[in-house]
């Protein structure tokens, strides 16, 4: 009997062979690993970089200095003409009121402006002499000179000191026992509050414009960084105690930008704070939200806007590197510190603190908070956009609460 040998069936070829799936699996794992490594590098490297930006833009102590970015063409007959060939300072073109500073003087520009290569505005000289042609000038949001507060207030200003560190403050006496205590923003000076202090003084309130740690010429915070109310509230507490020691029974806090965070932190820490009312301008009440808002305005090659996960990573890295407590700098999570009538003013063109921060505060405490928007105004620039409206608003508020 003969047998016929069975022919072994040929093994399949191509992707169906056992070797090919193993090869494909290794390739897939390698690709996944490569993507993970690239993402890790992107988020860790990018997060480290943007954490550095958070440090430089928000945390690092960087007191305000005038930036002389334009040159004078001519000055006289109540006008100032500035060269602006690249439209580097478009805020000068509109009708807003700004301070302008040069080496030997200070003034305010106001009224309509041209949009040509040369910007001509009405000029009110506040100190010094008129600038010479080609003299560099700086634009100043404060609109009044730091060295001459009496020129802005129309009354004698006393330089006083308060607290164990003898922090300097401007004081103008007034009537009654309700004081206005004014708190400037990050990196600013007392001059920033002269716009509001003028109205408080005119209303007859004893008015105290304070300084706090990290300001020029005063002791620094132990961290060497801005703390957005975490530690600065102690300086405000001592200023209020100083006012009480001089006869104040209660105070109206008038605060701008980070000054609002300092005021909120003070109210969080002092249950019996004698605060009768608050007036907050462009309040920076959530540093984390402010950082996210700033990141949303940046662009990255190929990606366009900065991805939210990258911003989150940068915040976590900043927290580890510089002990940033994002929760402690969020005064919107718990708004029980709002215990008195509060007026908030905020420009709808604020590129530093989003308007939604003030909207959230007003929505959380509609019984106590009134929000007033200023169209076309930037950060702490509502007064500059409409000085008369701003002054009237603050004057009525002080009349109602003081």
The rounded percent of the chain whose pLDDT value lies above 90 is: 71
Is pLDDT of 341 > 80?
yes
Check: CB of residue 187 under 8 Å from CB of residue 58: no
Paired tokens of 341: 């009538």
Dihedral, 312, 314, 316, 319 alpha carbons, nearest 10: -140
d(CA 238, CA 198): 23
Which has the minimum average pLDDT: 12-26, 41-55, 122-136, 223-237? 12-26
Which has the minimum average pLDDT: 125-139, 337-351, 379-393? 125-139
Residue 15's pLDDT band, with cuts at 50, 70 and 90, is very low
Q: How much is the average pLDDT of 125-141?
A: 93
Cβ within 8 Å of residue 378, ≥6 positions away: 91, 347, 349, 350, 351, 352
Residue 344's pLDDT band, with cuts at 50, 70 and 90, is very high
Segment 87-129, tens digit of pLDDT: 555 667 778 999 999 999 999 999 887 666 788 899 999 999 9
Check: CB of residue 123 under 8 Å from CB of residue 78: yes
Check: CB of residue 243 under 8 Å from CB of residue 208: yes
Which has the minimum average pLDDT: 57-61, 98-102, 116-120, 218-222? 116-120
Q: How much is the average pLDDT of 159-188?
A: 97
Is pLDDT of 288 > 70?
yes
pLDDT score of 83:
83
Write the secondary structure of 129-174 as one string of H (helix), E (strand) and C (coil). CCCCCCCEEEEECCCCCCCCHHHHHCCCCEEEEECCCCEEEEEECC
Beta bridge partners of 374: 347
pLDDT score of 10:
54
Residue 69's pLDDT band, with cuts at 50, 70 and 90, is confident
d(CA 107, CA 144): 8
Instruction: For residue 249, count other CB atoms closer than 10 A to its CB.
Output: 12
Check: CB of residue 136 under 8 Å from CB of residue 71: yes
- Shortest CA distance to 167 belongs to which of 158, 177, 159, 175? 159
Burial of 283 (0-12, 13-18, 19+ CB in 10 A): buried
Mean pLDDT of all residues in the chain? 89
Burial of 168 (0-12, 13-18, 19+ CB in 10 A): middle
Residue 298's pLDDT band, with cuts at 50, 70 and 90, is confident
Paired tokens of 69: 């970015």
pLDDT score of 63:
81
Q: Spell out the CATH class of 149-286+329-401.
A: alpha beta
d(CA 94, CA 385): 9
The pTM score is 0.88
Is pLDDT of 12 > 60?
no
Structural domain boundaries in the chain? 68-140, 149-286+329-401
């Amino acid at each position: 009997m003969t047998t016929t040998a069975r022919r072994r069936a040929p093994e399949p070829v191509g992707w169906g062979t056992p070797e090919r799936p193993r090869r494909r699996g290794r390739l897939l794992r390698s690709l996944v690993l490569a993507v993970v490594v690239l993402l890790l590098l992107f988020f860790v490297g990018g997060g480290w970089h943007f954490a550095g930006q958070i440090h430089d833009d928000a945390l690092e102590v960087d007191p305000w200095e005038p930036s002389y970015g334009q040159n004078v063409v001519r000055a006289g007959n109540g006008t100032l003409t500035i060269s602006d060939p690249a439209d580097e300072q478009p805020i000068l073109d509109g009708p807003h009121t700004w301070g302008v500073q040069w080496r030997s003087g200070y003034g305010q520009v106001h009224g309509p402006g041209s949009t040509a290569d040369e910007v001509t505005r009405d000029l009110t000289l506040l100190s010094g002499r008129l600038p010479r042609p080609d003299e560099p000038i700086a634009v100043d949001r404060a609109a009044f000179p730091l060295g001459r507060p009496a020129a802005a207030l129309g009354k004698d200003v006393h330089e006083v000191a308060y607290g164990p560190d003898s922090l300097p403050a401007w004081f103008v006496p007034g009537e009654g026992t309700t004081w206005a205590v004014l708190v400037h923003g990050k990196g600013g000076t007392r001059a920033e509050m002269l716009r509001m202090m003028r109205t408080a003084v005119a209303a007859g309130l004893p008015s105290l414009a304070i300084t706090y740690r990290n300001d020029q010429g005063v002791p620094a915070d132990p961290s060497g960084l801005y703390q957005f109310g975490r530690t600065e509230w102690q300086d405000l507490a001592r200023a209020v105690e100083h006012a009480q020691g001089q006869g104040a029974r209660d105070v109206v806090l008038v605060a701008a930008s980070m000054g609002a965070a300092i005021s909120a932190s003070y109210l969080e820490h002092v249950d019996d704070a004698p605060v009768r009312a608050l007036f907050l301008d462009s309040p920076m009440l959530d540093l984390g939200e402010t950082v996210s808002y700033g990141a949303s305005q940046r662009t990255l090659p190929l990606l366009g806007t900065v991805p939210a996960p990258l911003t989150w990573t940068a915040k976590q890295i900043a927290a580890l590197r510089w002990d940033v407590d994002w929760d402690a700098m969020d005064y919107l999570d718990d708004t029980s510190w709002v215990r008195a009538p509060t007026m908030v003013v905020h420009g709808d063109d604020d590129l530093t603190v989003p308007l939604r921060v003030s909207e959230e505060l007003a929505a959380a405490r509609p019984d106590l908070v009134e929000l007033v928007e200023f169209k076309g105004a930037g950060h702490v620039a509502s007064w500059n956009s409409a000085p008369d409206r701003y002054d009237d608003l603050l004057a009525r508020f002080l009349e109602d609460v003081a």
